[in-house]
């Protein structure tokens, strides 16, 4: 079993503890680690660690247990929208630890940077600008907030593509339409060439399902991309600033244990 990652450098900045869903597919776990390697390259001043909610190790409880009692940390969920994990699982794990200086950042999506990555992956798949409508294949959730996040991402992607073609949200589980249903409906409406934008972080079961449609082009998962790594850093920065502001009046902050980091410049 893989143990929680130890700090690789001395720093007085809060740990960036990224928490991913996890996968039985080794390539999916490798994609998560590759993304965080890029975050480390972009933000060498940070102690970046990785854990998983399920199916891979180290687990979130193991990684939280690896934090010292007064060690500040920001949990950055590598999740693309709001859902049960963000509302229940992660807060529950945090509550069980009673660590005083750990802050939970929002999910990665929706965000215009994700639309940038999706557009780049579509272009890499061979889709030319304006070449028919796009189906956004998200993991899916029974949580209405998650479905709303997927719809917002579809709008952001349509704005990013700016080619007048619709982007139709679809769900790989728990909601309808499925990507296959959405592609077939667009074909039935007279659109010969339809693309699927795979709205997943890495390969695995859902990515295989996203590729199993009669679409003309299907993009790869988001994977390792500069914009995605910057987004992880931005979620950290914003939550870190809030963590330090909350600690400002406390004895830990007065002792200098917590110091506000310089925010990374967006590109």
The answer to the question of residue 30 being in a domain is: yes
The answer to the question of residue 3 being in a domain is: no
3-state DSSP of 118-187: HHHHHHHHCCCCCCCCEEEEECCCCCHHHHHHHHHHHHHHHHHHCCCCCEEEEECCCCCCCHHHHHHHHH
> Is 31's pLDDT higher than 50?
yes
Number of domains in the chain: 2
HSE-up of residue 232 (Cα within 13 Å, Cβ side):
34
Residue pair 108/146 in contact by the 8 Å Cβ criterion: no
> Is 61's pLDDT higher than 70?
yes
> Is 33's pLDDT higher than 60?
yes
Is 127 found in the same domain as 214? Answer: yes
The answer to the question of residue 1 being in a domain is: no
* Segment 22-30 mean pLDDT: 94
* Segment 86-96 mean pLDDT: 90
Q: Which two tokens stand for residue 22?
A: 């996890």
Confidence band, pLDDT 50/70/90 cuts, at residue 112: very high
* pLDDT for the residue numbered 69: 74
Q: Which two tokens stand for residue 165?
A: 């073609």
Is 80 found in the same domain as 97? Answer: yes
User: Which SS3 state, helix, strand or coil, does residue 12 take?
Assistant: coil
> Is 113's pLDDT higher than 90?
yes
Is 88 found in the same domain as 165? Answer: no
> Is 266's pLDDT higher than 80?
no
* pLDDT for the residue numbered 167: 98
How many Cβ atoms from other residues are within 10 Å of residue 193's Cβ?
15
> Is 203's pLDDT higher than 70?
yes
> Is 32's pLDDT higher than 50?
yes
Is 248 found in the same domain as 173? Answer: no
Is 236 found in the same domain as 203? Answer: no
**Against a cut of 0.75, is the pTM above it?**
yes
The answer to the question of residue 82 being in a domain is: yes
Q: Which residue has the tokens 């920065």?
A: 237
Is 214 found in the same domain as 117? Answer: yes
How many Cβ atoms from other residues are within 10 Å of residue 76's Cβ?
28
* pLDDT for the residue numbered 137: 98
The answer to the question of residue 260 being in a domain is: no
Is the alpha carbon torsion for 229, 233, 238, 242 positive or negative? positive
Is 212 found in the same domain as 126? Answer: yes
Output the domain CATH number for residue 96. 3.40.50.1400
* pLDDT for the residue numbered 249: 47
The rounded distance, in Å, linking the Cα atoms of 157 and 178 is 18
The more confidently predicted of residues 100 and 53 is: 53
Query: Which pLDDT tens digit goes with each residue over 69-84?
Result: 778 999 999 999 988 8
Is 211 found in the same domain as 230? Answer: no
* pLDDT for the residue numbered 139: 96
Query: How far, in whole angstroms, is CA 110 from its chain's centroid?
Result: 9
Is 116 found in the same domain as 104? Answer: no
Residue 30 lies in domain = 15-108+225-254
* pLDDT for the residue numbered 255: 40
The answer to the question of residue 103 being in a domain is: yes
The answer to the question of residue 46 being in a domain is: yes
* pLDDT for the residue numbered 155: 98
Is 165 found in the same domain as 37? Answer: no
Is 79 found in the same domain as 20? Answer: yes
The answer to the question of residue 42 being in a domain is: yes
Query: Which pLDDT tens digit goes with each residue over 225-262?
Result: 999 999 999 999 999 887 666 655 454 443 444 544 44
Is 191 found in the same domain as 118? Answer: yes
């Amino acid at each position: 079993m893989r143990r929680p990652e130890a700090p690789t450098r001395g720093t007085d900045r809060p740990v960036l503890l990224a928490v991913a869903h996890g996968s039985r597919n080794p390539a999916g776990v490798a994609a998560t680690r590759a993304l965080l390697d890029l975050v480390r390259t972009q933000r060498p001043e940070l102690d970046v660690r990785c854990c998983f909610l399920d199916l891979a190790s180290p687990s979130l409880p193991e990684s939280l247990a690896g934090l010292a009692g007064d060690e500040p940390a920001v949990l950055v969920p590598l999740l693309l929208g709001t859902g049960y994990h963000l509302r229940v699982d992660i807060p529950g794990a945090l509550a069980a630890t009673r660590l005083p200086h750990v802050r939970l950042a929002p999910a990665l999506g929706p965000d215009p940077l994700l639309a940038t990555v999706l557009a780049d992956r579509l272009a890499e798949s061979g889709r030319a600008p304006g070449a028919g409508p796009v189906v956004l294949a998200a993991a899916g959730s029974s949580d209405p907030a998650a479905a709303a996040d997927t719809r917002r991402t579809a709008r952001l992607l349509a704005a990013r593509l700016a080619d007048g073609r619709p982007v139709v949200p679809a769900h790989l589980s728990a909601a309808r339409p499925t990507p296959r249903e959405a592609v077939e409906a667009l074909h039935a409406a007279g659109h010969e060439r339809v693309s699927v934008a795979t709205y997943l972080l890495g390969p695995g079961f859902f990515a295989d399902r996203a590729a199993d449609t009669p679409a003309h082009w299907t993009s790869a998962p988001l994977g390792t991309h500069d914009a995605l790594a910057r987004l992880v850093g931005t979620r950290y920065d914003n939550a870190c600033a809030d963590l330090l502001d909350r600690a400002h009046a406390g004895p830990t902050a007065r002792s200098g244990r917590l110091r506000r980091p310089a925010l990374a410049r967006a590109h």
